[in-house]
Amino acid sequence: MESFFARFKNPLALIAIVLLQVIALAMQVQRPAKDADALSPSGAAESEEAAPDGHNVSLLRRWTVTAITPLETALQSSSARVRGAWDDYVDLRHTRQQNAALKDEVARLREEEASFAADAAQGRRLQKLLAFREQYALTNVAAEVIGTSGSDRSHVLYLNKGSDDGLKPDQPVITPDGVVGKIRDVFPHTSQLLLINDPSSGAGVVLATTRIRCILRGTETGQVQINDLTPDSRIKVGEPVITSGGDLVFPRGLPVGTVQSIALDPLHQPYTAITVKPAVDLNRLEEVLVITATSSTLPAAAAQDAAAAEATAQANQRAADLVAEKLPSLQPAVTPANGAGTAPVAGASGAKAAAGSPTATAPPPDDPESQVGGLPGIPNSGLPRSKPALHPDRFSPGAAPPAADMTPGAVAQSQNPVPSHNPAQDQNPPAQTGAGQQPDQQPDQQP
């Protein structure tokens, strides 16, 4: 017996080492499966590897990470200093042009921001009507990528922020460009970021154009795919993909990427493999934002901006309404269904007037006939000719017949005919000038 062990010492040692690890593997694989539902709200969409480890395994992983990440952090910060010194003091080509371009862009973005805030306010009102609740990013923590897993089969990054900075497992990680992944494991000063292209990763998404909900997964090759949809001709290459919020990890509406290719999935017939090009370059991440809290209401600063933008928009609308009330002749004209001409209207009554009056055929504003003065050959260079009144009275020009035609003692007409402003319009019978237009039809806006 002794000779047996002496003879097969090496293979026996190897078998023992492998067997121990197999047992350890079996224990680890079972442990997250038990706790997956409790720990991960998106458990159904993710495999066991996406769930945090059991206590003992987490301890082992913490030791490993604690041994390696201080070195990574030190190297990262020293390289950042060198790079910063180079960028700040040496490599300053084109800085002035970039600065001017950025200033222009900031001004443009500020204008856009006010417009978007008004649109967002309208969207929230509509969502309230539809009883939707949207999650907004309330607070976030900026973190720096300090390392990778070092394996092409494990798409994991390490961040320089941990539980001491308020990070917790399952918190979403984004950049201004879109979704990056979620926090998988958290240590005091470091955290493990699971990228969306890891095979164990999953996210609830919606195709922005077709509004089809589906699950996004990573693949072994580091791609991002949707493979739970059957072929659908409505899905096109280039369609944006955004988060649906259904996984309770990522807030709704964050950009994920665009559809890159659509093909039948050879392994899972009859489903398709829709490859998504991530909005973020996952291989070149340096800084990320970890969303540490979400809310169904906007953050205070954003809410103030939105309220200010909404108030400005309402004030502009009120001013426009006042001008419209005081100057009814400048209200938008209507284009009749037959396209024969246009007429100034004021709501339903205006439509009726357009239907029954020859004044319905007013010329378009860029017509030279509708302008007074101006330079010959240059459109819109003169003043607009006054349009006929909507409610003419006896003082309106042309409303009363010439004195020569009047008969002393004759009964006054109850309805004054409204003369056409344009002599050419008199030739158009009412039937051709929007007679068929209904009062509830919306008038087309003149440009």
Partner 1 sequence: MAERSYTSREELDQYGFHPGVTVMAPMVCILLQAMLPRTLPWLLHLDLPLIATIFFAVSRRSPIAGAVTGTLIGLFQDGLTNHPFGVDGIAKGIIGYVAASLGFAVDIDNVINRVALVFTLSLFQSGLLYLIAHWLLGQASYRLLPVQELISAAANSVVAIPVFYVLDRFRIRD
Among 25, 102, 109, 308, contact with partner 1 (rule: CB under 8 A): 25
Q: Which residues pair with 158 in a beta bridge?
A: 147, 192
The answer to whether residue 63 forms part of the interface with partner 1 (CB under 8 A) is: yes
Among 184, 252, 387, 421, contact with partner 1 (rule: CB under 8 A): 184
The minimum distance between CB 199 and partner 1, in angstroms, equals 6
d(CA 426, CA 420): 6
The answer to whether residue 221 forms part of the interface with partner 1 (CB under 8 A) is: yes
d(CA 384, CA 229): 58
The answer to whether residue 57 forms part of the interface with partner 1 (CB under 8 A) is: yes
- Spatial CB neighbours of 236, under 8 Å, sequence gap ≥ 6: 209, 259
Please state the φ and ψ torsions of residue 213, each to the nearest 5 degrees.
-90, 140
Stretch 128-147: interaction string toward partner 1, x if CB under 8 A: -----------------xxx
Among 7, 17, 320, 349, contact with partner 1 (rule: CB under 8 A): 17
Q: Which of 383, 407, 382, 403 is nearest to 394 (CA)?
A: 403
Radius of gyration of the chain, Cα coordinates, nearest whole angstrom: 35
Among 42, 160, 191, 192, contact with partner 1 (rule: CB under 8 A): 192
Contact between 391 and 372 (Cβ < 8 Å) = no
Q: Which residues pair with 372 in a beta bridge?
A: 383
Is residue 270 reached through a cis peptide bond, with omega within 30 degrees of 0 on the bond before it?
yes
The answer to whether residue 61 forms part of the interface with partner 1 (CB under 8 A) is: yes
Contact between 370 and 385 (Cβ < 8 Å) = yes
Among 114, 119, 138, 154, contact with partner 1 (rule: CB under 8 A): 154
Tokens of 435: 């007679």
The answer to whether residue 167 forms part of the interface with partner 1 (CB under 8 A) is: no
The smaller minimum CB distance to partner 1, of residues 118 and 194, is found at 194
Among 40, 43, 45, 65, contact with partner 1 (rule: CB under 8 A): 65
The answer to whether residue 428 forms part of the interface with partner 1 (CB under 8 A) is: no
The smaller minimum CB distance to partner 1, of residues 3 and 151, is found at 151
The smaller minimum CB distance to partner 1, of residues 8 and 132, is found at 8
Three-state secondary-structure class, residue 342: strand
Tokens of 365: 């504003």
Q: Which of 186, 210, 188, 389 is nearest to 290 (CA)?
A: 186
The answer to whether residue 9 forms part of the interface with partner 1 (CB under 8 A) is: yes
Neighbour-count burial for 371-384, b at 16+ CB within 10 Å, e otherwise: beeeeeeeeeeeee
The answer to whether residue 249 forms part of the interface with partner 1 (CB under 8 A) is: no
The smaller minimum CB distance to partner 1, of residues 29 and 264, is found at 29
The answer to whether residue 10 forms part of the interface with partner 1 (CB under 8 A) is: yes
Residues of the shown chain interacting with partner 1 in the complex, contacts defined by CB under 8 A: 9-10, 13-14, 17-18, 21-22, 24-26, 28-29, 47, 49-50, 57, 60-61, 63-65, 67-68, 71-72, 75-76, 145-154, 156, 158, 184-185, 192, 194, 198-200, 219-221, 283-284
